[in-house]
Structure 1
Amino acid sequence: MSDAQVIIIGGGAMGCSLLYHLVKEGWRDVLLLEKNDLTHGSTWHAAGLCTHFAHNAPIQELRATSVRLYRDILPEETGQSCGFHPSGAMRITRNPERMDEFRHVAGLSAFTGYPLDILTPERIVELHPLTQLDGLIGGIYEPDDGHVDPSLATNAMAQIAVQGGGTIKRYCPVRAIRREDSLWVVETEKGTFQAEHVVNAAGTWGFEIGQMMGVNVPSVPVLHQYLVTDKVEAVAERQAQGLPELPIIRDPEESWYVRQERDGLILGPYEREAQVWSPDGVPEEFGADLMPPDLDRVEHIIAAAMARIPALGEGGVKTVINGPITFSPDANPLIGPAHGVENAWLLTGSSMGVMEGGGAGKFLSHWMTHGAPPMDALAVDPRRFGKWADRDYRIAKAVECFGLQFGVHYPHEERPAGRDLRKSPLHDLMIERGAVMGAAYGWERPNWFADAPGAEAEETFRRANWFAPVGQECKAVAERVALADLSVFSKFEVTGPDAQLFVDQLGTNRAPKPGRIGLTHALTPTGGVLAEFSVAALSQTQAYLTSAAAAEEMDFDLLRARARGMDVEIVNRTEDLAVIGLMGPKSRDVLAALTDDDLGLWLSVQEITVAGVPVRALRVSYVGELGWELHVARDHAMALFETLETAGQPYDIGLYGAYAANAMRLEKGYRAWGSDLTTERSPLEAALGYLVRPAGRDFVGRDAMLARQGNAPWDMVLLEIEGGDVDPFHAHSLWQGARSVGVVTSGAYGHRTSKVLALAYLRDASARDGLSVEILGQRRAARIQDCAPYDPDNERMKQ
């Protein structure tokens, strides 16, 4: 018998939000343990900023939910204010690339329903009269933003949760956590407690609690300072005149924010070189404590802020706050299941714990209650980092994220910290041949190939220096033959008497027959796409599954969970095998010169020998050409690649990378997991009905998927977009006249078809004509494609 359904460890904004929302979901045996008092981590010293600005819809919804909770819901429930100030906020810039970023975020927000306004310099000074305009070219305004009292908000959530049946134990530090008889056992100074679920909401202490749970939590405390001024006459005069509170203002180029605090101001600088604090464990005695001020580190940022807002210099420094906040490797929170352990959850790692806490607790409570997240969780799922996210990685990325807190978020950005952690056996060969590498789930993979050694990709929202080389890579694939290093795939082997039954019940499609390849989508209980697997049936008792690199831990957890009660063994082969892509109309000629084995039909799998090397050959292509994926043991990969190169020289064999593959798959209308396929939409809503075989079968999410099809208007379409100097990438609003009717999930220029292409979801499936896509503030006509614009009958792959 357990003491609780769930134990939450940590009484900051995140933990109290989860307690509050689980009680709202109907959970009653919910226990929150706090080592000191509520808010005594980073919550109590937070500046309390709340924003709607975000680069993807799920993060924006976390933030918007927090605003609604603090501003409207909690005051109504408690009868007391949470200290929310609806001041609005703006971001200003002198950087044209930043204006592109602002326009992109504004376009996404038009779709999500949280409109943000692009500002002219004149409008900036109207909204914030204390601002000097020198050099500014524009900005973005967030009218519903504001700031909240973190302690009032956290305690309000705790109050309502306790009234609803939740329990809080203060000054109850956790000493040990273990799994025992399908329950979690948590030892504290005030006794031992058992629960079905345990949640790490420990914030600053998240890493240590993770170690107790047996879970890698890649978060690091980083010291952040802000200063509070004494009275500022210009602010006091506005108050005396009854004028509205000044909006929060951020200058991302100079890396600071300023907000009004009574008759003074708060200035928060983010230095480029962050100061990591206690990355291996917070001191035992640390509680609601601060570090001594260290303003010398940020003196240059303070000077820049005073130049922009001279009134800052009029008020003396009253208080300096210097305390730890936690950063994950990408500055997004860690929300969701922990890898490899049952009923263990993370709700930590947020550098914006108050800003995101209200929404984060609601997000996780929905996931725990309904078995699926309320929105696409890829940006927050803790399993987006694996065991490769070690101490050096988490520190390097935390420093980078802090320094780039206000960095421009480019659509194809590749940040340099924490690289070279996972390398395929072909890595050095790729570098020698001019590969410009990107990172995917810790792996290094070729994005594109440059002619000159040491080339780097331009960071821009517009066509970059890799546009023409990628076009040449696509030409090589279409006209001749080309090789690719595809080793980053996640790879799993399923063996045992129930292997075929397991695959048949895994997702929406039937198990392929032995020797054949199929594609199946595993669903959430609510019918959304949880995973996409390419399934190669090696025999009745053995199947080989591949999936996206970023899904490795998520998919391994999924496969093991779905295998319960079946006589199968599931092994993760991701590190063991390399994958070489051999694609193009001359690919058969190259391969046939190196093997006497039959090369099979389209969508077949065979174990063959190529130049004396055992190879698992999958005749499948994500780029729409005749080709093979050659799966080979790591030790043989380099020799096989070089042999294929030599055999391909008569055909002027080329190379292609991830950018070319993305462009070519869009010409075929192929969906990509993680962008086009997410838990938010079902395969039917993604227009993948030809891969759905529900008749006479039962699988998780089946009935929910079918019910959604009868009620939901969502429909995925492939669009050709009017040309321009900016190619679509993701999160662009789709319009029909003045009505926002959908959103782009991925896009690129198709070099084989000379078309600008994008996949998009219509939220009104009847909106078929008169469409346009807004890209960086420009509306461009869009036309739905009735079929794939490249080889719609798959004749090239069947050759």
Structure 2
Amino acid sequence: MKTHVKALVVGGGAVGTSIAYHLARAGWQDVMLLERDELTSGSTWHAAGLLPLFNMSYATTHIHQYSVEFYKTLEEETGLDAGFFIVGNLRMAQSRARMDEFQLYAATAETCGVPHEFLTPDEIRARWPLVRTEDLQGALFHPTDGYINPADVTMAMARGARQRGVAIERRWQVDGYHWTGSDWHVTCSKMVEKGGNLVPSGEQVVITAEHVVTATGNHAQRTARLLGIRIPAIPVEHQYIVTEPDPALAAYREAGHPEHPVLRDADAKWYVREERGGWILGPYERNAPARFLHDVPDSFRADLFPLDLERIEAEYMSMIHRIPSSETVGLKDDFNGPICYTPDGNPLVGPAPGLRNMWLAEGFSFGITAAGGTGHYLAQMMVGGEAEIDMASLDPKRYGPWMTTEYAARKNEECYEHVYILHHPDEEREACRPLRTAPAYDRQKALGAQFGQVNGWERPNYYGPPDAPDSFDHDARSFRRGGWWQYAVDEARAIRQGVGLIDATAFAKHRVFGAGATAFLEWFTCNRLPKVGRINLTYALTAAGTTRTEYTIVREAEDEYYLVSAGAWAAYDQDYLLKAIEDWSTGSSGDWVGVHDVTTQRGVFAIAGPKTREVLNELVKDADPATVLSNKRFPWLSMRDIELGMCPVRAIRVAYTGELGWELHHSIEMQNYLWDQLMAAGEKHGLKPVGARAQNWLRMEKSYRAFGTELGRDATPLEADLPRFVDLSKPFHGKAAMEAKGIRSTCVTLLIDGPDDADPWGREALYDGYTRVGRLTSGGYSVHFGKSIGMGYVRPDLAVPGTRLKVQMQGRLWEAEIVPDSPYDPENAAIRKDG
């Protein structure tokens, strides 16, 4: 057994073996995989082996698509049949809303090149007469999809890994990790079977590894404890049953018909596929419990839980309804095993928080589908520094240190239940809420605020009627314009025409200070630093030259800075800041740099609109209050400490809406006082509280890029068409790589002549005629132009104002036109307005 390796992969399921294989294929010569039991002995062995391409996530769709294509090549390379049955995947819809969901997914699928077609009920019946269709609206069919034998594909990847030099060691358990400053010392125990359990034999080795990847599946909580971090990957029970042979199915096949596709009745919450002349039914029912919140018992190996048929009775009866011939067949076998989940259903893939060269690949609810692509893209990150797609949506640091075991367990149960519940783009799930609330939460709720959750924070999405009648559905959601849409329109107009107040407390906020702060930030960010009392927008890049984080930097003093970034990425940003300081310090003069996360100490209100000065002037305390907010004393893109009533405020003259406005950063304990003062002062000026959805529309009218949509790790700031925020006269981290990439695609803003009842969501494909040339990254409604608006990326030769393209929405191509950046107020007259 090797004791020195470049990369150690911990976990021998489908995900772990894929990672080991792809690291070797990417060129790493010294890779080893450890498995505490036998390969596939975790959730892999009892997985149903389905390969569902359907996913609303751009990154996850790429991962699933890679897996499907990769698995087809394994037999030729390794000589082992991976057990891939390409039968297609039929997703049936009982409702118009479900067909709308399929149409939105199809638009996302097209951006990734996933083949699909829509079928009518008559077309379904003609192809598969055993399926009842009279209550269906239609279906989405993936012809290249199907299912695979989980054990076979894992063994094929393991053989491929061995052929490429990977050492695979079974019956070794990791008991400890220690970072020496340059590599990991991993303490491992040899495991032996005793009384049916696996127990340490007493034999131990210490493996020195430059990199470690954990793919420990159901054992993720033990891994988290050994590493001293939190990993919100906790298993949930998943049941499926296998029926006896169905005579009607046998007759259908004997007549020469091909195997049925994998059948999914999303509205009935189940999947079904053929199995040895019968059927496998896999439901996603309510009340499936989380398991192994802390540890997997030594006695639990390749084991299962007792079946709970009562819990899946409704799903079983609906299968009989959909496939009437199944009513007379008996049950042959049943499975109820643990499948790992995360609170949002996406796996945790990427660098572990706070640790060097420690990589996580945990929380795979669709592990067989994701295994191949995860190995491929994680190997790109580890070997080349970054993946070709933006993996931020899967980053383990999207959950901060506020996340607890109880939160993960309850949210994972909810996520399991929601596998087949309609995935509205504007959905807000209820479990574990409210949890993180700013002081003004109750006041906002009393005004009709309807909240969304961002990094655990409750943030108003929009304000409905505060005393709504029972007939008003605050939660009215749709794949078109939901019940909230008109309220967001009114709020957006209030900011364009009057004044609005937005709670932005969820912003991530860090102070960077010390003798080395200025030199560090010069290296860390691509724009020039502001002067004292001024602000600037800038980006921190990856080593690959793409956008890692967006910051608004406020310079408080010569070596003191206040950094504001997206609220959803607080832990992500802090981890990168701390690691970057360590990297910079290694090659610098050694001047000290401090970082202080003040996110929970500072609240933020953004006030914007033509009447903003009138409202604030009611509250300003100054010897000459009438001039405090003038351009002369308080110019655009500057910062001042002011007093509003009895509240000291760090005011920043910037507005994400493109109107005259300020961000009011304040001590969190004074937030209710400040809210009350602003609302009272604004009453005679028509001040309206405004939610995040209206703000998102307004920022698109100004072509303001957002991190996580237009800005990410798959595009450089130059490709985002932001050269004004890149100072090429100075050296900075990632500069050479950014310049070497050139311009592969360009970010543009489009006005769209779409349907009367819908707007794009930012997941749609863009076409030049019938040729796909790009994709939207954001979408919504423009109150200024009275039509849909979107932002996205297209081929550079098409990124010219006036270019006519088409957007795929609801199964149709709609006319769109690329417009100049900042189509609303391109001269910034509103935001620079004096008074």
TM-score by length of 2: 0.93
Q: Determine the structure 2 residue equivalent to 1:105.
A: 105
Summarize the alignment of residues 160-171 of structure 1 with structure 2, pairs less than 5 Å apart. Answer: 160-171=160-171
Q: Determine the structure 2 residue equivalent to 1:722.
A: 753
Summarize the alignment of residues 498-647 of structure 1 with structure 2, pairs less than 5 Å apart. Answer: 498-564=516-582, 565=585, 566-593=591-618, 594-596=620-622, 598-599=628-629, 600-647=634-681
Q: Residue type of the partner of 1:488?
A: A
Q: Runs of 4+ in structure 1 displaced over 4 angstroms?
A: none
2:319 aligned counterpart, secondary structure: helix
Q: Label 1:141 to 1:529 Cα distance change in 2 as closer, same or farther (>3 A).
A: same
Summarize the alignment of residues 359-374 of structure 1 with structure 2, pairs less than 5 Å apart. Answer: 359-374=373-388
Tell me how far 1:642 sits from its aligned partner: 1.4
Q: Residue type of the partner of 1:592?
A: N
Q: Residue type of the partner of 1:595?
A: K
Deviations for 1:748-777, whole angstroms, at most 9, x for unmatched residues? Answer: 111133232110211353375331111111
Tell me how far 1:532 sits from its aligned partner: 0.4
Tell me how far 1:482 sits from its aligned partner: 2.1
Deviations for 1:676-721, whole angstroms, at most 9, x for unmatched residues? Answer: 11111111111112212112x12222122222225x2x11111111
Deviations for 1:237-279, whole angstroms, at most 9, x for unmatched residues? Answer: 3443443221110001111111112322211111122122222
User: What is the aligned counterpart of 2:461 among 447, 453, 464?
Assistant: 447
Query: Matches of 1:393 and 1:127 in 2, distance apart?
Result: 45
Q: Determine the structure 2 residue equivalent to 1:702.
A: 735
Q: Is the 8 A contact 2:290 2:410 kept in 1?
A: no
Deviations for 1:550-604, whole angstroms, at most 9, x for unmatched residues? Answer: 1111111111122120521011111111011121222223323322174410000
Q: Determine the structure 1 residue equivalent to 2:777.
A: 745
Query: Matches of 1:374 and 1:737 in 2, distance apart?
Result: 27
2:239 aligned counterpart, secondary structure: strand
Query: Matches of 2:700 and 2:24 in 1, distance apart?
Result: 44
Q: Is the 8 A contact 1:392 1:418 kept in 2?
A: no
Query: Matches of 2:668 and 2:268 in 1, distance apart?
Result: 47
Of stretches 736-745 and 230-239 in structure 1, the one that deviates more from structure 2 is 230-239
Q: Determine the structure 2 residue equivalent to 1:177.
A: 177
Summarize the alignment of residues 18-29 of structure 1 with structure 2, pairs less than 5 Å apart. Answer: 18-29=19-30
Query: Matches of 2:696 and 2:15 in 1, distance apart?
Result: 37
Query: Matches of 1:745 and 1:790 in 2, distance apart?
Result: 19
Q: Residue type of the partner of 2:611?
A: K
Q: Determine the structure 1 residue equivalent to 2:193.
A: none
Query: Matches of 1:767 and 1:786 in 2, distance apart?
Result: 10
Q: Is the 8 A contact 2:401 2:571 kept in 1?
A: no
Q: Is the 8 A contact 1:503 1:510 kept in 2?
A: no
Tell me how far 1:314 sits from its aligned partner: 4.0
Is 1:89 the counterpart of 2:89? The answer is yes
2:54 aligned counterpart, secondary structure: coil
2:282 aligned counterpart, secondary structure: strand
Q: Label 1:787 to 1:21 Cα distance change in 2 as closer, same or farther (>3 A).
A: closer
Deviations for 1:150-196, whole angstroms, at most 9, x for unmatched residues? Answer: 11111111112122221222111222233334432322213222222
Q: Determine the structure 1 residue equivalent to 2:75.
A: 75
1:52 aligned counterpart, secondary structure: coil
Query: Matches of 1:42 and 1:63 in 2, distance apart?
Result: 18
Query: Matches of 1:262 and 1:782 in 2, distance apart?
Result: 50
Tell me how far 1:787 sits from its aligned partner: 3.8
Q: Determine the structure 2 residue equivalent to 1:762.
A: 794
Tell me how far 1:111 sits from its aligned partner: 2.5
Tell me how far 1:541 sits from its aligned partner: 0.6
Q: Determine the structure 2 residue equivalent to 1:781.
A: 815
1:276 aligned counterpart, secondary structure: coil
1:563 aligned counterpart, secondary structure: helix
Q: Determine the structure 2 residue equivalent to 1:296.
A: 310
Q: Residue type of the partner of 1:604?
A: S
Tell me how far 1:115 sits from its aligned partner: 2.0
Query: Matches of 1:765 and 1:118 in 2, distance apart?
Result: 32
Deviations for 1:298-356, whole angstroms, at most 9, x for unmatched residues? Answer: 12211110111123234322211111111111111111111112222110101111111
Summarize the alignment of residues 10-409 of structure 1 with structure 2, pairs less than 5 Å apart. Answer: 10-71=11-72, 73-190=73-190, 191-409=205-423
1:288 aligned counterpart, secondary structure: coil
Deviations for 1:186-232, whole angstroms, at most 9, x for unmatched residues? Answer: 22213222222222200011121111111211011111111122222
TM-score by length of 1: 0.97
Query: Matches of 1:300 and 1:592 in 2, distance apart?
Result: 62
Query: Matches of 2:749 and 2:532 in 1, distance apart?
Result: 33
Query: Matches of 1:753 and 1:532 in 2, distance apart?
Result: 28
Is 1:794 the counterpart of 2:813? The answer is no
Of stretches 701-710 and 60-69 in structure 1, the one that deviates more from structure 2 is 701-710
2:798 aligned counterpart, secondary structure: coil
Q: Determine the structure 1 residue equivalent to 2:764.
A: 732
Deviations for 1:398-446, whole angstroms, at most 9, x for unmatched residues? Answer: 1111111111111111111122221112212211222111101100001
Q: Is the 8 A contact 1:736 1:767 kept in 2?
A: no
Q: Determine the structure 2 residue equivalent to 1:422.
A: 436
Segments of 5+ residues of structure 2 without an aligned counterpart are 191-204, 586-590
Query: Matches of 2:241 and 2:130 in 1, distance apart?
Result: 18
Q: Is the 8 A contact 2:446 2:466 kept in 1?
A: no
Tell me how far 1:789 sits from its aligned partner: 2.5
1:101 aligned counterpart, secondary structure: helix
Q: Label 1:636 to 1:377 Cα distance change in 2 as closer, same or farther (>3 A).
A: same
Of stretches 390-399 and 83-92 in structure 1, the one that deviates more from structure 2 is 390-399
Alignment identity in percent? 39
Is 1:413 the counterpart of 2:405? The answer is no
Q: Is the 8 A contact 1:533 1:546 kept in 2?
A: yes
Q: Is the 8 A contact 1:753 1:789 kept in 2?
A: no
Query: Matches of 2:21 and 2:794 in 1, distance apart?
Result: 34
1:17 aligned counterpart, secondary structure: helix
Tell me how far 1:616 sits from its aligned partner: 1.2
1:663 aligned counterpart, secondary structure: helix
Q: Residue type of the partner of 2:517?
A: A
Query: Matches of 1:446 and 1:767 in 2, distance apart?
Result: 35
Is 1:674 the counterpart of 2:708? The answer is yes
Q: Is the 8 A contact 2:614 2:685 kept in 1?
A: no
Deviations for 1:636-668, whole angstroms, at most 9, x for unmatched residues? Answer: 121122122222233122211101111111111
Q: Determine the structure 1 residue equivalent to 2:198.
A: none
Q: Is the 8 A contact 1:742 1:764 kept in 2?
A: no
Of stretches 677-686 and 143-152 in structure 1, the one that deviates more from structure 2 is 677-686
Is 1:456 the counterpart of 2:482? The answer is no
Q: Residue type of the partner of 1:667?
A: E
Q: Residue type of the partner of 2:66?
A: T
Of stretches 437-446 and 111-120 in structure 1, the one that deviates more from structure 2 is 111-120
Count of matched residue pairs = 795
2:297 aligned counterpart, secondary structure: coil
1:173 aligned counterpart, secondary structure: strand
Tell me how far 1:514 sits from its aligned partner: 1.3
Q: Determine the structure 1 residue equivalent to 2:199.
A: none
User: What is the aligned counterpart of 1:465 among 483, 492, 499?
Assistant: 483
